[in-house]
Amino acid sequence: MLVGLHTGLRAGEQLALEWRDLELDRRTVFVRRSVAGPTKTGRERAVPLSADLEAALRAIQHDRSTLVFCNGNGTALSIFQLHERLWAACRAAGLRKVRWHDLRHSFASQLVIAGVPLPQVQEWLGHSTVAMTMRYAHLAPGVGRHWIDALNANHGNLTAPWRG
């Protein structure tokens, strides 16, 4: 779950993640594929790893498979297994059942709330256009507030035209 919350990877991208896609010393993950084939946009992207996520990934390093997330015998996890783990964690925490994609939305929302520019969030999420990322724009701190100061900058120029 930490990968979903700290990288915004789609479930299929996380299931296809291989150890060679991680550069832990550079704290970067390269999203190159999904279980269904290429990424949704068909383009590779690099997403930085938080210090917490880097430490967690180092702690689970294994040589059972080239896949980062796999069963004990090295076989690939199914999408159902991934969701079951998420839902089990929700039950254990007393939370309602959430979708894997909700972790991606949380990643984006937290970035925007922290003031990360939308084009950067777009790049990390792998959205093909900034229009997709704009759904999070309302979360940006003080959105548009700096523009209201334009009223102060023009003092007398903004008087009502009927007052002459």
pLDDT of residue 139: 78
pLDDT of residue 147: 63
More confident residue, 4 or 157: 4
Residue 107 lies in a domain: yes
Residue 80 lies in a domain: yes
Tokens of 84: 């079951």
Residue 111 lies in a domain: yes
pLDDT of residue 41: 83
Residue 162 lies in a domain: no
Q: Does 86 score more than 70 pLDDT?
A: yes
Contact 49, 143 (CB under 8 A): no
Q: Does 153 score more than 70 pLDDT?
A: no
- The reply to whether the predicted model has a pTM over 0.75 is yes
- Mean pLDDT of the region 44-67: 96
Residue whose tokens read 């007398």: 156
Split into its structural domains, the chain has a count of: 1
pLDDT, tens digit, 9 for 90 and up, residues 12-34: 999 999 999 999 999 999 999 99
Least confident of 47-51, 85-89, 131-135, 155-159: 155-159
Task: Write the CATH number for 88.
Answer: 1.10.443.10
pLDDT band at 98 (very low <50, low <70, confident <90, very high): very high
pLDDT, tens digit, 9 for 90 and up, residues 102-147: 999 999 999 988 889 999 999 999 998 888 888 888 777 766 666 6
Residue 163 lies in a domain: no
User: Domain range holding 98?
Assistant: 2-157
Q: What letters, b where the CB count within 10 A reaches 16 and e where it falls short, cover 64-83?
A: ebebbbbeeeeeebeeeebe
Dist CA 57 CA 162 (whole Å): 67
pLDDT of residue 144: 64
Residue 164 lies in a domain: no
